[in-house]
Amino acid sequence: MLPSQIEGLFDEAPAQYEEEHFRLFRDFKAALNRGEIRAAQPDASTKSGWRVNAWVKKGILLGFRMGAIADMSIDASKQPFFDKSTYPARGFAASDGVRIVPGGSSIRDGSYIGRGVICMPPMFVNVGAYVGEGTMIDSHALVGSCAQVGRNCHISAASQIGGVLEPVGALPVIIEDEVLVGGNSGVYEGTVVKRRAVLGTGTILNRSIPVYDLVRDAIYTATGTEPLIIPEEAIVAPGSRAVAHPTGAKWGLSLQAAVIVKYRDAKTDARVQLEDLLR
């Protein structure tokens, strides 16, 4: 019912949005907040293990179309805040079990934040994102629109998890359960980081950067409509590759790459374990 209603309103915009349309959108956002609907969800039948729910992304875009710029300032004289009326900051209660440490963090309405999530200031979660239970989002980290982050992950300081709203059929960035994303890392363009992988500090992953697996003697890249996929339990570090062009070789240039240096073991687990006392 909800998918067909959202699709219909997206495809055939009325001359003016009425209360019934806004009520439909509020119901849609509430389902996003509860995690009942997602922009992408697990699907074992696909190569990446995930599939896009295009109608959900249409619903999110619909909210931008329906909303008007509104004053959302707590104190307009000190910190003015203007955004679409359909996307205020998301409200929480202590009973939600989410820690939002004071200091300028923002979570947009229409995103799922699981119990036990820790938000260190300042951080930002955009609309359509899904953040699983027990995950820590550290200072200056970004979880982009529609990005999917699993349970018990650590999104370290200044990391960026890219999202995607358009095109509606494109896969957003996926971070599966128990992944550690090191500080100042960036994951973009629909990359899928599989369960229990570790990205070392400063690792950048996108459709243009190859990943060299030293353990399995393999090279991973995005191809066609298929995203870059980082294997389960891979330990990824930033690297470089020599430029083959004669001029580049003459100048000693290299291009960015990523390198899988090993796979998780007991020593790795001990180093990356989130301290229970922090919770």
Percent above pLDDT 90 for the chain: 91
Average confidence score pLDDT of the chain: 95
Question: What is the per-residue pLDDT across 127-149, written as a single tens digit (0 to 9) for each?
Answer: 999 999 999 999 999 999 999 99
Q: Which DSSP helix (H) or strand (E) runs through 32?
A: helix 19-34
Q: CA-CA distances (angstroms) from residue 225 to 12, 27, 221, 247, 270?
A: 28, 32, 11, 32, 37
Q: Could you tell me if residue 122 is inside a domain?
A: yes
User: In what helix (H) or strand (E) does residue 161 lie, and over which residues does it extend?
Assistant: strand 160-161
Residue reference for tokens 């009973």 = 95
CATH number of the domain to which 245 belongs: 2.160.10.10
- Residue 226 CB-half CA count within 13 A: 11
**DSSP assignment, residue 44?**
T
Kindly indicate the confidence band of residue 276, based on its pLDDT and cuts at 50, 70 and 90: low
Give a yes or no: residue 203 inside a domain. yes
Structural domain span for residue 167: 2-68+91-265
pTM over 0.85: yes
Structural domain includes residue 83:
no
Q: How far is CA 181 from CA 128, 142, 171, 239, 277, in A?
A: 20, 12, 19, 16, 20
Question: Is the pLDDT assigned to residue 274 strictly greater than 80?
Answer: no
Q: pLDDT per residue over 159-208, tens digit each?
A: 999 999 989 999 999 999 999 999 999 999 999 999 999 999 999 999 99
Between 274 and 272, residue with greater pLDDT: 272
Percent of the chain with pLDDT over 70: 98
Number of folded domains that form the chain: 1
Q: How confident is the model at residue 78 (pLDDT cuts 50, 70, 90)?
A: confident
**How many CA atoms within 13 Å lie on the side-chain side of 108?**
23
